[in-house]
Structure 1
Amino acid sequence: MTDLVTTVVITRDRVDQLLQTLPRHEGRVIVVDNASSDGTAAAALARCPGVRVIVLPRNVAGAARNIGVEAATTPFVAFSDDDSWWDPGSLARAAEIMADHPSLAVLAARVVVEPGGREDPFNEVLATSPLAGSPDVPGRPILGFMACAAMVRREPFLEAGGFHPLLGVGGEEQVLAWDLAARGWDLRYEPSLLVHHEPRPSGTRGDRRTKALRRSAVIAGLLRRPWPDVGRTVLHGLGASGPDRAGVGAAVVRLGPALAGRRVLPRAVREQIRVLGD
């Protein structure tokens, strides 16, 4: 079933890490290089000559995945970052599930953090989702996912606009998940599928991610949620940690473009968000 899937890997200035994970991917692979300055493209091709590498003239962050999906010719696309890879057999199994259930637009896998194979805490969030869904579709109904551990159906992904360019990296999945649900597509978490994630240790990574997630939450609200919900998100960020407050500030910088793209979600999706407790 891997002939039905292309794995899209985004990277920027992490050639050493990419060269470690790239040979682990099965089937077709497209690497989208976010304007790296460390020789990523040449090194990737030298290590894995069968990989296609697309070099971007500038860093577009998470939206680089959209370019990879556009370039793919398979009906399904799996995402990986330069520090993640799908467990052997999981890619084919995910493609089989997607092929057997045409209403599925997103299938999220369970993530273990390497080294050591620790369960990522987000697995529990997805596994305990209280959302209701058709019993004919496998997995737990969800309204969010981790980009580096998900497979999408190419056509609805592109029709929904892919990852919104204002969201960067960190929380970039949210608007896409909402927009797919608004179009009537199913999103599911399937714990039998496995992705390995080996993030590079960094003393400031937690703060940077907190800031990015708060920034994306505010921008996503501006793009899709009613004003009272946006206000609560902003106030919660301002009353939280320093990185949270910094995230609100980073979102304000993008206020104009966010308002220009504002389109409030239909009531059914807004109710799902409330069931999840935001």
Structure 2
Amino acid sequence: MNASAHASGSPSAPRVTVVVLTRNHVRQVVDTVARLTALPEQPDVIVADNGSTDSTVSLLASLFPQVRIVQSLGDRGMAGFNRAVLLARTEYVACCDDGTWFAPGALARAAKLLDAHAQVAVLNARVVGGDEREIHPACLMLAATSPGADNPAGPVLANFMAGACIFRASVFRALGGYEARLSHGGAEELAALDLLAAGHQIAYCEQALAHREPLYHWFTRAQHCARARNAAWVAWMRLPMRDALAATGRALAVFARQRSLGPAGVALLRGAFWTWRRRRVVPPHVVLLTRQVRRAERHVRAGIPAMAEKYDRSGQRAW
């Protein structure tokens, strides 16, 4: 693990730490870290390595001695963020994957917004392609299905993109980070429900610009099933019975479309006891927000099928 070059408490100490999640994408993560370390905000950068078996760790350590590297023994998915965020010394933490980087000035603008709006715990960045001409469909969907009136920080959201957000570090730690069993889909949805239940807000921040290459991600059959299963598990853990049953029905429909009804259904059932032991239904106002979002999402999918198709393929959420 490499020590950060910034001294805590010094006049030039950064406001934001960027945590980059990676696994076996050595060329991609080197390019991303190079972009992040060149930002005018001079953020601390921590790489959360999910058990890479290529030259990721050694090459990063050689090229960027100022970057801290947190290694996991295996692929922990989004739970790989957890230990890295614990090590951050700044008030705010920006999370991204190894194909996403923040634009110059984006982190400074995000920090100012969070400074001014104590009720906002998470800002979802606006994610665009490398040439900035196309916005990530998940961002379009989140903004289009905002369940409430805008606040000064941006449209209020009921969820966020784990790979393109800026957190209050203290709130992330209070949540206990991302649930490891949901680390390959659904962990951010559970975190969002718990944030909202605790009285925090999530906002979509146009001013926090992030780039992503490639913009879209196509999932395998197993990944589609895992995300649908995890969404059902989250519903059983946090939502009323009506919503949990509906999420289970959606998961079974995905399993059937992916021709994995038997194996995926068994996997869903195996988690029943685990989810039931963790069941803690969120307050009514949070349930109402989630239902509003789902209705809005159905409307968007019906009205703009091309965007909905790209959103489904982007892998940001499996509702």
> What TM-score does the superposition give when structure 2 sets the normalisation length?
0.79
Do the aligned partners of residues 54 and 224 (structure 1) sit closer, same or farther apart at CA in structure 2, a change above 3 Å counting?
A: same
Amino acid aligned to 2:179: H
Q: Which of 95, 107, 120 is residue 91 of structure 1 equivalent to?
A: 107
Q: Which string of whole-angstrom CA distances, capped at 9 and with x for unpartnered residues, describes residues 48-89 of structure 1?
A: 111000111232211111111111010000001011101111
For residue 94 of structure 1, give the secondary structure of its aligned residue in structure 2: helix
Amino acid aligned to 1:213: R
Amino acid aligned to 1:192: Q
Question: How many residues matched?
Answer: 276
Q: Write out aligned runs for 1:214-229 (5 A).
A: 214-229=228-243
Shift of 1:34: 1.1
Shift of 1:118: 2.4
- More off after superposition, 247-256 vs 143-152: 247-256
1:139 & 1:181 partners in 2: Cα distance? Answer: 16
The answer to whether the Cα contact below 8 Å between 1:8 and 1:78 also exists between their aligned partners in 2 is yes
Do the aligned partners of residues 35 and 224 (structure 1) sit closer, same or farther apart at CA in structure 2, a change above 3 Å counting?
A: same
1:70 & 1:64 partners in 2: Cα distance? Answer: 11
Aligned match of 1:179: 194
Aligned match of 1:38: 54
Structure of larger gyration radius:
2
Shift of 1:153: 0.3
1:277 & 1:81 partners in 2: Cα distance? Answer: 26
> Percent identity, aligned pairs only?
31
Aligned match of 1:113: 129
2:191 & 2:127 partners in 1: Cα distance? Answer: 20
The answer to whether the Cα contact below 8 Å between 2:21 and 2:96 also exists between their aligned partners in 1 is yes
Aligned match of 1:6: 17
The answer to whether the Cα contact below 8 Å between 1:166 and 1:258 also exists between their aligned partners in 2 is no
The answer to whether the Cα contact below 8 Å between 1:211 and 1:243 also exists between their aligned partners in 2 is no
- More off after superposition, 191-200 vs 229-238: 191-200
Q: Which runs of 5+ in 2 are unaligned?
A: 1-11, 296-319
- Tell whether 2:156 aligns with 1:145: no
Q: Write out aligned runs for 1:194-205 (5 A).
A: 194-199=209-214, 205=219
Amino acid aligned to 2:95: F
Shift of 1:2: 7.9
Q: Write out aligned runs for 1:156-167 (5 A).
A: 156-167=171-182
Do the aligned partners of residues 146 and 2 (structure 1) sit closer, same or farther apart at CA in structure 2, a change above 3 Å counting?
A: farther
Aligned match of 2:247: 233
Q: Which runs of 4+ in 1 moved over 6 A?
A: none
Aligned match of 2:31: 20
For residue 263 of structure 1, give the secondary structure of its aligned residue in structure 2: coil
Q: Which of 85, 100, 121 is residue 69 of structure 1 equivalent to?
A: 85
1:151 & 1:169 partners in 2: Cα distance? Answer: 20
Do the aligned partners of residues 5 and 248 (structure 1) sit closer, same or farther apart at CA in structure 2, a change above 3 Å counting?
A: farther
Q: Write out aligned runs for 1:126-141 (5 A).
A: 126-133=142-149, 135=151, 137-141=152-156
Amino acid aligned to 2:199: G
1:130 & 1:82 partners in 2: Cα distance? Answer: 27
